[in-house]
């Protein structure tokens, strides 16, 4: 039975690892979905609680005694907490599942079977969808200066749509077919234990956004395949946890900072600074384009209105950062 941690550790195939911080009710839904949809080969479920003060840990202890609970006194972050869980897990495979993700079927078991057949695959992930079924961008390419310029300055429009989608993945690709990718969204990742042992897991110096990008980069450097496998889907509420406590503007700023820092790490400090500039110019272009479309079609157009708000926040994230007199992103740790 799922969560029976008294079983022989050598019989454990899949360890489900969920990191939580102050999302008790969302966490309950996540863990109930694991209980409902995973039997064998799942053998244990581990929750790492990052110093929650909303009763999350108490809920797990009282209502889900089959779940193994690790409690931290403070919020260690997504990466270090997942590393804790993987170090304590006994499975051959680790399912890293966000607390705001929910299983709807046995998709993780299908991923396990796929990875058993293909030993070169180190990490695999399924389709991610919002509640209601709308597709999320879950398979991605690494942020490089050239790729950012290609996307943000709209050069991708010069290529056939299919070619651009293959080069960028993300929201440009329909996620209908299996594909070797650069990195997968961390909401639902199936990781081979050997990969964790070889790489040491997530970079503990990174906090909130970019952790899975950086880790997948090191995983691929060691020769492992990172695979998007549409064998099923997982519902992901999408930033539900960080949105509750950070707000949209701070979340966007942290996402952009993380991407620019990775460009700086991989291509040098100057590239990191240029990446931020390219993204800023691209956001200005998109803000102007969507604003004009909204004016032409009317203020009631929800799609263009949401895009205007989104790129206005992106522009302000960069602008406010520079007004505050902070150092260029590439010069900071």
Residues 91 and 76: their CA atoms lie apart, in Å, by 23
Q: Which pLDDT value is given to residue 249?
A: 64
Q: Which pLDDT value is given to residue 307?
A: 76
Residues 190 and 95: their CA atoms lie apart, in Å, by 5
Name the strand (E) or helix (H) holding 137. Answer: none
The structural domains of the chain, with segments of one domain joined by +, span 9-138+175-238, 245-331
Asked if 41 contacts 13 with a C-beta cutoff of 8 angstroms, the reply is yes
Q: Which pLDDT value is given to residue 223?
A: 97
Where does 188-299 show beta strands of DSSP type E? 188-192, 225-236
Q: Which pLDDT value is given to residue 304?
A: 61
Q: Which pLDDT value is given to residue 329?
A: 41
Residues 6+ apart with CB under 8 A from 181: 139, 140, 141, 169, 226, 227, 228
Classify 9-138+175-238 by CATH class.
Answer: alpha beta
Chunked mean pLDDT (size 10), the chain, 333 residues = 40 91 94 87 85 94 94 93 96 96 95 97 96 92 94 92 92 92 96 97 88 97 97 85 59 80 94 90 87 72 69 75 51 34
């Amino acid at each position: 039975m799922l969560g029976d941690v008294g079983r022989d550790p050598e019989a454990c195939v899949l360890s489900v690892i969920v990191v939580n911080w102050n999302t008790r009710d969302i966490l309950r839904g996540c863990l109930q979905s694991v209980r409902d949809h995973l039997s064998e080969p799942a053998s244990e479920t581990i929750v790492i609680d990052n110093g929650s003060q909303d009763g999350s840990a108490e809920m797990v202890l009282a209502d889900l005694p089959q779940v193994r609970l690790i409690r931290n006194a403070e919020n260690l972050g997504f990466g270090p907490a997942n590393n804790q869980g993987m170090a304590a897990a006994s499975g051959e495979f680790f399912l890293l599942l966000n607390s705001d993700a929910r299983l709807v079927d046995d998709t993780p078991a299908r991923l396990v079977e796929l990875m058993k057949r293909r030993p070169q695959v180190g990490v695999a992930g399924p389709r991610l969808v919002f509640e209601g079924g709308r597709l999320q961008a879950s398979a991605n390419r690494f942020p490089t200066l050239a790729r950012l310029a290609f996307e943000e300055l709209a050069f991708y429009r010069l290529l056939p749509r299919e070619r651009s989608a293959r080069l960028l993945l993300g929201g440009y690709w329909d996620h209908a077919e299996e594909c070797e990718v650069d990195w997968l969204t961390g909401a639902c990742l199936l990781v081979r234990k050997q990969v964790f042992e070889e790489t040491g897991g997530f970079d503990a110096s990174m906090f909130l956004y970019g952790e899975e990008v950086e880790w997948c980069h090191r995983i691929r450097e060691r020769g492992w395949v990172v695979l998007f496998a549409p064998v099923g889907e997982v519902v992901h509420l999408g930033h539900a946890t960080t949105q509750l406590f950070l707000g949209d503007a701070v979340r966007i700023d942290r996402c952009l900072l993380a991407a620019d820092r990775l460009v700086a790490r991989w291509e040098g400090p100057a590239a990191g600074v240029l990446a931020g500039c390219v993204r800023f110019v691209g956001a200005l272009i998109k803000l102007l384009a969507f604003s004009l479309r909204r004016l032409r079609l009317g203020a009631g157009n929800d799609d263009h209105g949401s895009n205007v708000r989104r790129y206005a926040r992106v522009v302000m994230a960069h602008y406010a950062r520079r007004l505050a007199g902070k150092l260029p992103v590439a010069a900071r740790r």
